[in-house]
Amino acid sequence: MPEAIVYRVDDRSILLPYYKRYLIEPALQFLPPSLHPNTITHAGHLINLLGAAVLLALWPIKGWPFALAALTLHLYVWCDNVDGAHARRTKQASPLGEFLDHGLDQVNMVYIAIITAMALGVSPFWWVIHLLLIPGAGCLAYLEQTQTGVLCMGLLNQIESIVVLAFVLMASAIFGTAVFDRVIFPGYSLRLLLCLWSTVTILFGIARGLVRTASHRGAMANAPALPFLAFGASTCVAWQIEAISTINAVTLVTCANVYFGMRMLSRRLREKPAKVEPLLLISTLVLCATAGWRAMGHPVDSSIGTLIVVAACGAFGAETARAARDGIQHVMRHS
């Protein structure tokens, strides 16, 4: 197997060693060798999708849907950690399995962003921020791995975040999402503090990743990140000045995150360095033009925003599918 597609990770998670020791390793003996690791990966993805879908479908403010989401979230994380361990134990580890695991993780981060926004009962502003930053952090982690060969995970990452989110979900299930407004710390609601905490920690992690990449490969190694960051910023600006609607902004950042993450993953597995993505540049220019037109006092018809979303997400979707195809074909040829 070529070195370029070997899974390398620097995981400094505080809770992960204990999670593996008490919840992963003891369970491995009960998994039959005939069970394919990719089946576990798919199961985890579908379980996570179920939790997010129930919350979106019912849009609750209290009750069992939040408890269900807490359960499905933990089952997903268990599957996400046990699939690789089972693959190594049964000697079924493969580049295709890694591609599937990481590719679905990018989609799963979208579900987690949705669950987080629903659990906290956030405003439209925080919906956009969560759907931008949570999956976006994963994209930029893949960029770092593409450029440096190492996927770096900080002290507070998957397990720590899921534990906090599970407590939030259970609080919403028992007391309702309004509890985060009623609990006040020096003049600020618990909802605002939790949103700020997640935003600051994610931005700090992104900044550290960009610094590591620049230190390892030079400042130009971060060039592919610039259009991606500019697209997210232009989407937020266009939404804030009402050039596009909230649902359009959420849809745009979601599609762009999945697209960019898949592009980075595919290029790494094909042993190619990351590059500036023209599609992100074009989309950013269109959004900037729309926002500029609105800023000059001209109205922007809602159909224009919808047209931008349909065109951009259609292009993102087509390129995501092509990146997935190219990545799968490459790993199949080199397995």
Q: How many independent structural domains does the chain possess?
A: 1
- Dist. CA 95–CA 89, nearest whole Å: 16
Identify the H or E element spanning 84.
helix 64-89
DSSP state of 318: H
Domain that holds residue 226: 3-333
The backbone torsions φ and ψ at residue 9, rounded to the nearest 5 degrees and listed phi first, read -145, 140
Residue with tokens 């079924």: 92
- Looking at the chain, the number of H-run helices and the number of E-run strands are 13, 4
Angle between helices 124-148 and 246-269 (to 10 degrees): 10
What's the confidence (pLDDT) of residue 2? Answer: 36
| CB neighbour class for 101 (10 Å; exposed up to 12, middle 13-18, buried from 19) | buried
Q: How confident is the model at residue 7, as a pLDDT?
A: 54
Cα–Cα distance measured from residue 94 to residue 84, given in angstroms and rounded to the nearest whole number: 10
- Which H/E stretch holds residue 10? strand 9-11
pLDDT tens digits, the chain, 335 residues: what are they? 333 434 577 778 899 999 999 999 999 999 999 999 999 999 999 999 999 999 999 999 999 999 999 999 999 999 999 999 999 999 988 888 888 999 999 999 999 999 999 999 999 999 999 999 999 999 999 999 999 888 888 777 889 999 999 999 999 999 999 999 999 988 899 999 999 999 999 999 999 999 999 998 999 999 999 999 999 999 999 999 999 999 999 999 999 999 999 999 999 888 888 999 999 999 999 999 999 999 999 988 989 989 999 999 999 999 999 999 988 888 888 76
| 189 beta partners | 184
pLDDT at 335: 67
The one-letter amino acid at 292: G
Name residue, tokens 């930053």.
133
Residue 57's CATH number: 1.20.120.1760
| Structure tokens that stand for 94 in this block | 């493969």
Three-state secondary-structure class, residue 255: helix
- Look at residue 281 and give its three-state secondary structure: helix
Measured from the Cβ of residue 36, the count of other Cβ atoms closer than 10 Å reads 15
pLDDT of residue 13: 87
